[in-house]
Amino acid sequence: MKEINEENLEEGDLFEGDIVGLIRGAAQKPTKTRGLWPNGIIPYEIDPIFPPASRDIILAGQKMIENATRINGSDCIKFISRTNEDTYIRVINGSGCWSYVGKKMTKGAQDLSLRSPGCMKNAIAAHEFMHAMGFWHEQSRPDRDNYIKVIYENIKLEKIGNFKKYQIDKVDYLNQLYDYDSVMHYEPKAFTSNGLPTIVPKEINAKIGQRTHLSQIDIAEIRALYNCK
């Protein structure tokens, strides 16, 4: 089966390719203040334009998060079909795979795009929902140079800004170690200009950029951020 190239489905002018609400190169920065969904309950609507198979994949991405983070039968995160909730995620068949980070709206719809069929993979949906829950990309951690090497000469010139590190006082990684296995990590050839790797793990045999599951650290971070016990 051909692997989905998520990079080709990201928006050129979005922060790090798939984050809405920040401008690459501007003074805005990721912050420790992440808008959380109260009690881990996330109302959503799915645009009826999606075919049934795509809708099933979107729901499976939600279930991936719910099932992985449940503790002793109690939900940590719960996606609920919107009835009359004022603020909710609206999943649209937009121009690529992208989301805001955290709950940004005080009232109304917060769009999250999963283009069909390009973005239709369970863990790609989970990746974007994790952005909406408040999570940033793993490879932009302030300590990332201890774990990966960024090969700048292989990056498309206009995409180099996607590889900036976050400032240490601007982000909170919830006392978790760097996670090569995170569903929030870029793949080795993300935004390559020549087909060669743009990110090389310093740990021998480490794999990065998987889009099949939540890692154990992804799960621990969700539970920590949403105070699930």
Give the Cα separation of 174 and 190 in Å (integer): 26
- For this structure, is 11 an active site residue? no
Please state whether beta strands 87-92 and 41-46 pair in parallel, antiparallel, or not at all (unpaired): parallel
Distance CA 181, CA 217 (A): 8
137 is in an annotated binding site: yes
Q: Which of the residues 128, 138, 187, 221 is marked catalytic?
A: 128
Per DSSP, the residues of 186-218 read PPTTTTBSSSS-SEEESSTT------S---HHH
Cα distances (angstroms) measured from residue 153 to each of 87, 160, 162, 189, 194: 43, 9, 14, 12, 9
Element (H, E) at 92: strand 87-92
Q: Is 213 annotated among the ligand-binding residues?
A: no
* For residue 188, cis peptide bond before it (omega within 30 degrees of 0): no
Residues annotated within a binding site: 127, 131, 137
Residues annotated within a binding site for Zn(2+): 127, 131, 137
The residues assigned a catalytic role are 128
